[in-house]
Structure 1
Amino acid sequence: MADLWLALPLAALGGYLLGGVPFGLVLTRLAGLGDIRAIGSGNIGATNVLRTGRKDLALLTLLLDSGKGAIAALGVRALLGWEGVDPILPVVAGVAAVIGHNYPVWLRFRGGKGVATTLGVLLATAWPVGGLACLTWVVMAGVFRYSSLAALAALALAPAYAWALAAPVHVAGFGLLAVLAWWRHRDNIRRLLAGTETKIGQKSKAKG
């Protein structure tokens, strides 16, 4: 128990710092596209990177943002040994990575919305739940063409998927991530209700 209480803050700190790496901002600057925060929604995630017209950079941002969530969770298990690691540690590290992406200290706590990073955490800590969440996103995005709506649905259902397929710690962790995602998407929710939200493939109508 003492070892667990020592490992928890270290897992959280490591996850937060890794999650705070702003890959979308770094990639677009390296590509000579300027500051991604000055266009579209102003966020640093893959959806906003796509608004630059660079699908390759958007895909790479998606993979890297997902990857840092997964690495944060899996890294704890790798460092402490794959067998016998308390499942709370990968979940804590993963949740911290999403918080780091959303509120990175490097960018004065102004980051992205954490969808890709959250999906990476789900896949790394409970892959059946992550797979179903990704499938939910794909179906919702394909039917309704709203990235935000697809993300909100996928992450809202993740705790329910975890209830059926994973452990209580996953239900709690994924529930927290769902609440965080809905909070970060509050402007999108307002636009969805008003019918002014930008669809996938359209140019951004509003910042946020």
Structure 2
Amino acid sequence: MIPIIILMVGVAYLCGSLSSAVVICKLYGLADPRTAGSKNPGATNVYRLGGRIPALLVLLMDILKGTVPVYCSYWLGIEPVALGIIAIAACLGHIFPLYFGFQGGKAVATAFGAMLPVGPELAGLIVLSWLAALFVWGYSSLAAIVAVALAPLYTFFIKPDYTVPVAMLALLIIVRHKPNIQRLQRGEEPRVWDKRGKLKNNG
């Protein structure tokens, strides 16, 4: 089983390395999201640069980057903690993409996709938490932090065996948002509907 786990870790990283934001922006003739807007290659920045359709495509592709390798690993009978490592590999691929100069995004959507195998209940609770936080505060980054921070708690009540791997993912995403947290504390973080993209935001 160890060779299979190592193989899936590599597959997950390579899947994560496909920068959806860069690919979609090129297809739509938009500016490179790594150098324009918030300079973060994620769905939120693509929304600012090109609107809803490109952003939704980026979101879908980013989710699949996490879902596909983790689902495949799940059906191969890999244990929960190892699944967490594979999920983290997919997120690290998004954060440090091999094909795009290791300049990636926050991996929120990819982490969400990696959590989907836990079940639709978890997915629904995460989405509801994100929407509620976004509605209350208007910050995509803060909404993502709140949603992933609650994910391990939700998992504990839904499928306790997966609490540790989900907590591992949540910690990675929160750490990745350190600059956003600092800007939130200074009152400098732009709200999600701010399409000017002058400051870095979540994506």
Same fold, judged at TM 0.5 (above)? yes
* Alignment gaps of 5+ in structure 2: none
In structure 2, C-alpha distance between the alignment counterparts of 1:48 and 1:144, rounded to whole Å: 18
Q: CA deviation at 1:95?
A: 2.2
2:29 maps to 32
Residues in 2 aligned to 1:109 and 1:136: alpha-carbon distance in whole angstroms: 30
Is 2:180 the partner of 1:188? yes
- Match for residue 9 of structure 2? 12
Give the counterpart of 1:96 among 86, 89, 95: 89
Q: Is the 8 A contact 2:40 2:200 kept in 1?
A: no
Could you report, residue by residue, the CA deviation over 1:132-162 in whole angstroms, capped at 9, with x for unpaired residues? Answer: 1111001111111110000000001111111
Letter of the 1:191 partner, please give it.
Answer: R
TM-score, with length taken from structure 1: 0.89
| Match runs of 1:1-208 below 5 Å | 4-78=1-75, 80=76, 84-168=77-161, 170-202=162-194, 203-207=196-200
Give, as a single letter, the amino acid of the residue that structure 2 aligns with 1:15: A
The amino acid that maps onto 1:120 is: G
Inter-partner Cα distance in structure 2 for 1:90 and 1:179: 15
Question: Which whole-Å CA distance do the structure 2 matches of 1:34 and 1:53 have between them?
Answer: 9
RMSD (Å) for aligned C-alpha atoms: 1.7
Once residues 90 and 183 of structure 1 are traced to their aligned partners in structure 2, the CA distance between those partners, rounded to angstroms, is 20
Comparing both chains, which one has the higher relative contact order based on Cα–Cα distances under 8 Å and sequence gaps of 6 or more?
2
TM-score by length of 2: 0.91
Contact 2:25/2:31 (8 A) holds in 1: yes
Q: CA contact under 8 A between 2:21 and 2:41: conserved in structure 1?
A: yes
Overall identity of the aligned pairs, in %: 38
CA drift at 1:40: 1.9
Note the residue ranges of structure 1 that are not aligned, 5 or more in a row: none
Shift of 1:89: 4.7
Aligned equivalents of 1:165 and 1:190: distance in 2? 33
Task: Indicate conservation of the 8 Å contact 2:5/2:78, yes or no.
Answer: no
Cα distance in 1, alignment partners of residues 80 and 199 from structure 2:
40
Q: Which whole-Å CA distance do the structure 2 matches of 1:207 and 1:189 have between them?
A: 11
